[in-house]
Amino acid sequence: MISAAVTDEPDASDGEFVLTLRADEMVYRGLVEPERLDEIRRVAEQFSVAVTEDMAGLIDPGDPDDPIAAQFVPSGAELTTAAQELTDPIGDARWSPVPGIVHRYPDRVLLKPTLVCPVYCRFCFRREVVGKTPAMLDPAALERAYDYIRQRPEIWEVIVTGGDPFVLAPRRLAAIVETLDAISHLGVIRFHTRAPIVDPRRVTAALVTALTAEKAVWVVVHANHPRELTPAAKEAVTRLVRAGIPVLSQSVLLRGVNDDAAVLETLFRGLVAMRVKPYYLHHADLARGTAHFRTGIKAGQRLVRSLRGRVSGLCQPTYVLDIPGGYGKVPIARCAIHSDDASRGWTVEDSAGVRHSYLPDPDDPAR
């Protein structure tokens, strides 16, 4: 099935409803050569395919290495599964006690009300389930998910993800926020979404109003290349920020897309200039058919170290790896400080790789 993307119906206040392009339409628009249609169809039989008009408009069909096309246009390389790749690379199933909930960490849970996205990233770690049916939790399953949260006072934060929760109509988002806002032990409601970047017209006044709560509501957007930070995306983020909603970002380190210090510098500076704090830079997960996107960890560490000397701390996300099997995220940037047993002190490496001695107070027992 090529038309794998499904979207919730818009409310009357949503304005124009933004459609997505599927495989045949990508050929018609000139984003894919006609002779590749069979290849694209074979990929679409396994993984969902869709790209928004906004992202399609950024693609240069004449550039075989276009970083936007690499993220959204299917490739036959996705049909090759490397030995270490997994259908559930970060172990969601292991930590899913009821449908729609992932409870990996004691104080927070993921709530996945929908498995639909406005685009389907070719490197997605949930590519085995997004865009498939059922597209949404039914009302009974959603209520069971809420009950799971209500019954566990240790849960302090709910991360609404999917799929992309911003494909839901504002009235549905408002119902989710209202329900979570009424759970006394929660402190934070967080939304993870690609929509403000890839489908910014979804961020309407009605959607922003739907996020209003007594509790703190945060939004985390996803952007991987500076060309994604279009004027429309900036306007969408500005609507959130002006409503008092703090916005963070996450990016994935992708070979051929952003594995370059200058590209990452431009991306992170652009986000901060939009009042978005870079939060995570993910090492690409071991999702099936994504080996062509992954860099080496040492290469990622070199990039992150080079950024330390190029951009301010505001522009520095944490470089993380989600341990396969469901063991959680860990920072994997190279440590800059090492014990020096000879001097009973430390050796500290600066952003240029030059090492310096650091000797604490000899009377400090915690040195």
Active site residues: 104-105, 108, 117, 121, 124, 126, 285, 322, 329
Please give the structure tokens belonging to residue 84.
């270490």
Work out the burial of residue 83: count CB atoms within 10 Å of its CB; fewer than 13 is exposed, 13-18 middle, 19 or more buried.
exposed
Is residue 30 left, alpha or beta, with left meaning phi > 0 and alpha meaning psi from -120 to 50?
left
54, with CB counted inside 10 A (0-12, 13-18, 19+), is buried
Run of H or E residues at 243: none
Residue with tokens 């040492």: 298
Q: What residues does 323 pair with on adjacent strands?
A: 328
Could you give the CA distance from residue 204 to residue 221 in angstroms, rounded to a whole number? 16
Q: What are phi and psi of 106, to 5 degrees?
A: -60, -40
Distance of CA 280 to the CA centre of its chain: 9
CB 269 within 8 A of CB 275: no
**Angstrom distance (rounded) from CA 267 to CA 213:** 30
Coil, helix or strand for 345? strand
